[in-house]
Amino acid sequence: MRHLLLKLSIWAFMVFVVPMQKSARVMAFTQPKGVEFRYKSSYPDVYDWSVIEDERVRNIIEQRIKEDCHLYTLTVFGDKSLFTKDPASIVKMPLEVDYINIYMDFDRLVKKSQIKYHDQLYLVSDSLITDEWNISDTLDTIQGRTCYKATLKQNDRVRAWFDPEIAVNSAPFGYTGLPGLVVRMELPFTYLELQSIHTIEGDVRLAAPEKGIKMDDASFKKMTGSNFKEFMKSHKKD
């Protein structure tokens, strides 16, 4: 019965709520109290590093994959959210696009990301829009929570498992559009899992990051994508 009710709630959301939204508008679940969702990430060994001819470089990368561990906090209050990397995180991977802060304002439709790349801090601005997902009707139990699996329509290598009983539209790494709390997330080079939930008593102020070299999202992605391709090409076997 509980599973049936969950399926009906998802169906009602997709049929009645989503069509009422304008395509450029992001649906936001306003939080009357501040809530912190804490996550831990790991670096999945999904790439065949044997293509790198230099054994020393290959061994260093494989060792860093094992040691790499990031801690994040997603804070949600009102119509704003802030995804923040914990300074205690262990960063070992080379050429990593390191997200420090991701601020989202669902009222003004603003998204600002503070990103460290090649020891340089960038401030990347973008419009906030709703991500579109393919939601499976298959249920998975994760940490005792009944979750649905969702796959990003624009990139099927981005997958999330969410709990519809906790209404949170913000997701890790600046994703939006899921009708529930993300409990687990898989990206091409990152796995993320929920560790704890904390309610914040009193007033909460979420501010957009201000420091960094200003760029738009498209320009930043083009820069980082080109650098990674050059790195792999320079260490690839003939």
Residue 4: what pLDDT?
40
pTM tops 0.85, yes or no? no
Which residues lie across from 214 on neighbouring strands?
123
Residue 132: what pLDDT?
96
Residue 197: what pLDDT?
94
Residue 179: what pLDDT?
92
What gap in Å lies between CA 125 and CA 110, rounded to an integer? 8
What gap in Å lies between CA 156 and CA 234, rounded to an integer? 28
Residue 17: what pLDDT?
34
Residue 8: what pLDDT?
37
Residue 46: what pLDDT?
65
Average pLDDT by consecutive 10-residue portion of the chain (238 residues)?
41 35 42 85 73 85 82 93 91 75 95 93 94 92 94 94 93 95 91 93 88 94 67 46
- Both tokens assigned to 178: 């899921």
The number of domains in the chain is: 1
Q: How many CA atoms lie within 13 A of 134 on its CB side?
A: 9
Residue 62's domain comprises 2-234
CATH classification at residue 38: 2.50.20
Residue 227: what pLDDT?
54
Q: Which long-range contacts (CB under 8 A, 24 or more apart) does 182-187 make?
A: 183/142, 183/143, 183/145, 183/147, 184/142, 184/147, 184/160, 185/158, 185/159, 185/160, 185/161, 186/44, 186/157, 186/158, 186/159, 186/160, 187/157, 187/158
Quote the DSSP letter at residue 185: E
- Both tokens assigned to 42: 């790991």
